[in-house]
Each structure stands twice: as structure tokens, then as C-alpha cells.
Amino acid sequence: MEFEVWWLLAIPVIFGCGWVAARLDLRSLLSESRNLPASYFRGLNFLLNEQPDKAIDAFIEVAKLDPETTELHFALGSLFRRRGETERAIRVHQNLLSRDDLPQADQEHALYELGHDFLKAGLLDRAEDAFSRLHTGAYAKAAQHAKLTIYQIEKEWRKALAEAETLSDLDPAVSYRKEIAQFHCELAQEALQRKDVEAVGHELDAALAVNPANVRAPLLRGDMLLAAGDAEGALRVLRTIEAQNPMYLGLAAKRVMKAYEALGRASEGVTMLRDALRKNPSDDLLEIVYEKTLSLEGPEAALQLMREQMHRAPSAPGMARLLEAHAATAHGDTQSDLQLMGKLITQRTKSLPRYVCDQCGFRARLFYWQCPGCNGWETYTPRRADVPAAT
């Protein structure tokens, strides 16, 4: 009973202390709010009413009246950058950096934001310089990510490679294998254009060492061997793609046929690709198989191919080819009608065969290893998406 009485006496004391503390906090809050300029509250009101232009003007007035409002300067800079007013954002962050009394953490923050201002403005050299000055601190890793973005925009693949490897060492939990392998492939592509066979081989070996699942490397090696006249070697390399990832065979089909034709075995090449098409339907692969079947075996064989394939895996581009094949074997008015139907479907579906980024949904007529929309690597499925664009 004595224990319970003590608790009964303690409860009113605890409530009393809480009430006093709340009163003190309320007085402190009211005191601080009285010190804030009226423009600050006008700005907040404009933001709540979704009037960003007026809010910015009000906050600028606050910043002029009280230069110590560092967080408000950061908010203004961010607002300016989002609105595309990069010059004003740059001035805000440069003004912050010019202050001698600014704490080290705020200096790093301002430098990081200034780098993004320059990046948004397209001033890549100045952005790189700003991010490069953030060697340590809370923004060092984010600055390295930003530099990696800059090097990819500038197509500075050697620098991008070094930056990605550094980031991999800093954070082993995050994999950059895909990006590093692609950077090696980009360097191999450049070496291939220079006809530097040794450099091509070195970069492709490095790409596969980092990411054995990389399909671009055997494609480029096939190009190198075909250019050197080694069709047998090219075919041996390109045939591995079917086992590695058959979805990419559509990208390799032209190269495969080129190698078979160079060896005088075109019919064998068509048969091989036709078998692959049955296992893994693809409009890109179908295009090559149809054209080669038509030229080597004639319109009847091409028509039979299209009939079988459309029953197996119908698609709008495939149906246009089926009508074309029917027209090639028809006569008179029937042929004319089929040609007209095929032309109409081709026109209607011209914009449909597109590749869609798995990451951001960006649609493109051509296949890209790096998405033009989100800059992600290997985000396009190497198979055309037979769907209309969203309106």
C-alpha cells in the first residue's frame, strides 16, 4: 500500500513538470516566431496555396533581411534549379560559399548544390570541378556518383571506368559490374573504329572478366573477326550468344548470316536462325529469317514461314510481312488488294515496334545499350514491344 501511495503522489508532480516545460517551449517558440520577418510567413502561405513564384519573391526578401538564414538559401537555390533558373541558383550557392563564417558542413553542402547547378546548366567542366573538391565529408560519395554521370555524358569512358571502380571499392555491397563491363565495351568500340585489334581484344577480355553475362562483348568480337576476314572464328563466337542469352540473338542475326555467307553456307545459316526463331520468337530475328528465306528459297517458302510464325507468335510487324508474302504469291486484283492491306498495316504499325526501357519506360526505335531517358545500362529488353505509345 505504501508503494502505491508514493505513485499517487508522484503523478501530479510529473504532470506539473510537463505543463511547465510545455509553457517554456511555447514561450520560446513564440519568441522565435516574433523575430522572423513577416515575409517568411507570407512565403509559407504562398507555398501552401501553390503559388511558388510569389513564395520565391517573399523568401528572397527574407534572405535579404537576414543573411544568416542558411537553410532558406539552400531552399531557394533548390527551387531556382527545379524551375530551370540555373543562373539564380548558382548565385545563391556562390554567395553562400563566399561567406567566411559558414560552417564546414554547410560549405560542403553549398559546393555540392553548386555542382548540380552547373550540371543542370550544362557547364560540365565547372560541375566536375565542384564535385572533385568534395574529397571527404557527407557529400563525397554522392559527388563521385555525379562525376560518373558527367563522364558518361562526355563519353569519357576511361574516366568513367576509373570512377566506377573507385565506387565499387568504397561500397562493395553495390555492384557496378554491368556498368564497368559496358565502359570496357565502349572503349573496345572506339578501338574497333581505329582498327586497333589488340586494344579491342584487351577491352573485351576485361569486360567479360568483370561480367561474364555481358552479351555486347561477343557481338563486338564477332565484328572484329568479321572485319579481319575470320568468318569461322566470328561464327564460333556469335553462336555462343544463343546459349548465353537467346533473347539477344536478334541483334546478332545479321552478323551470323554474314559469317555463314562468307563461308558459302547461307542455307545452313537460315536453318539455324529458323530453329532459333521457333524457340525464341523475335521480330528482329524474324525480319532476317524472312528476307533470307525469300531470297534463297523463294516466295512460297517465305509465305509458309510467315504462316507458321504468326500462328505461333503473332505480332503486328509479322502480320504486315505475312500480307507481303501472300501478295508475292498472288495475282491480279488479289495481289493488288493484299499489297494495299500490307501497306496500310505497315503505315499503322510503323511506330509500334519499339524497344522499351524496363527502368523508366522510355521508348526508342533503335536498341540502345544505355537508355537515353534514364542513362541506365542494359535496361532495354532486346525484343521489340508491340504496343502503342501512351497518350
The pTM assigned to this predicted structure is 0.78
Whether residue 270 contacts residue 289, with contact meaning beta carbons closer than 8 Å, is answered with yes
Does residue 72 sit in the same domain as residue 30? Answer: no
Nearest Cα neighbor of 180 from 195, 160, 200 is: 160
In a domain, 40, yes or no: no
* Sequence-ordered list of residues with C-beta below 8 angstroms from that of 135, at least 6 positions apart, any chain: none
pLDDT at 294 over 90: yes
Confidence of residue 254 (pLDDT cuts 50, 70, 90): very high
Distance CA 307, CA 302 (A): 9
- Judge whether 63 and 91 are in contact, CB under 8 Å: no
Q: Same domain, yes or no, for 160 and 185?
A: no
Do β-strands 363-364 and 385-386 pair in parallel, antiparallel, or remain unpaired?
Answer: unpaired
- Whether 85 and 156 map to the same domain: the answer is yes
Which residues sit in the known binding site for Fe cation?
357, 360, 371, 374
Least confident residue range of 152-161, 204-213, 280-289, 377-386: 377-386
Q: List the CATH number of the domain containing 106.
A: 1.25.40.10
Checking if the pLDDT of 138 tops 60, the result is: yes
Q: Is pLDDT above 60 for 171?
A: yes
Q: Residue type for 20, please?
A: V
Q: Is pLDDT above 60 for 3?
A: no
pLDDT at 231 over 90: yes
Let me know: does 221 contact 189? Beta carbons within 8 Å.
Answer: no
Q: What per-residue confidence (pLDDT) applies to 51?
A: 57
pLDDT for 136: 87
The answer to whether 151 and 159 are in contact (CB under 8 A) is yes
Distance CA 266, CA 277 (A): 16
The pLDDT value given to residue 320 = 84
Return the higher-pLDDT residue of 198 and 329. Answer: 198
Q: What is the pLDDT of residues 335-381, one digit of tens each?
A: 887 778 877 777 776 766 578 888 888 888 888 999 988 999 999 88
Does one domain contain both 159 and 188? no
As a whole number of Å, the end-to-end CA separation of the chain is: 76
CA distances from 22 to 27, 35, 357 (A): 9, 20, 54
What number is the average pLDDT over the span 72-78? 78
Report d(CA 21, CA 18) in Å as an integer.
Answer: 5
Mean pLDDT computed over every residue of the chain: 82
Please, what sign has the CA dihedral across residues 6, 10, 12, 13? positive
Highest mean pLDDT among 30-34, 100-104, 254-258, 380-384: 254-258
Return d(Cα 192, Cα 107) in angstroms, integer: 45
Q: Please check whether residue 15 lies inside any domain of the structure.
A: yes
Final residue of a domain: which of 173, 190, 219?
173
Angle at 130 between CA 125 and CA 135, to 5 degrees: 125
Residue 248 is assigned to a structural domain of this protein: yes
Using alpha carbons, select from 70, 69, 78 the residue that is nearest to residue 37: 69
Residue 308 burial (CB count, 10 A)? 13
d(CA 315, CA 306): 11
Q: Is the pLDDT of residue 198 over 60?
A: yes
Spacing of C-alpha 145 from chain mean position: 14
Q: Among 245, 266, 287, where does a domain finish?
A: 266
Digit-coded pLDDT (tens) for 49-60: 555 556 555 555
Task: Looking at the structure, tell me whether residues 122 and 213 fall in a common domain.
Answer: no
Same domain, 193 and 246: yes
**314 in a structural domain:** no
Higher pLDDT pick, 202 / 385 = 202
* Average pLDDT of the segment spanning 123-135: 94
From 220, 243, 266, the end of a domain falls on 266
Report the SS3 class of residue 365: coil
Based on the fold, state whether residues 181 and 140 are members of the same structural domain.
Answer: no
Overall domain count for the chain: 4
Say if residue 220 is in the same domain as residue 255. Answer: yes
Q: What is the pLDDT of residue 376?
A: 93
| Residue (of 48, 36, 100, 45) closest to 72 by Cα position | 36
Residue 244 falls inside a structural domain: yes
331 or 192, which is more confident?
192
- The reply to whether 76 and 92 lie within a common domain is yes
Buried b or exposed e, range 342-354, using 16+ CB within 10 angstroms: beebbeebeebbb
User: Interior CA angle at 93 toward 89 and 96, to 5°?
Assistant: 145
Is position 140 within any domain? yes
Domain that holds residue 380: 353-390
Q: Is the pLDDT of residue 76 over 90?
A: no
In this prediction, residue 288 has a pLDDT band, given cuts at 50, 70 and 90, of very high
Query: Is residue 79 located within the same domain as residue 152?
Result: yes
pLDDT of 26 above 70: no
Is the pLDDT score of 195 beyond 80?
yes
Range in 76-90, 156-170, 222-236 the model is least confident about = 76-90
Rounded Cα distance between 68 and 35, Å, is 13
Q: Is residue 110 part of a domain?
A: yes
Side-chain half-sphere of 294: how many Cα atoms within 13 Å?
17
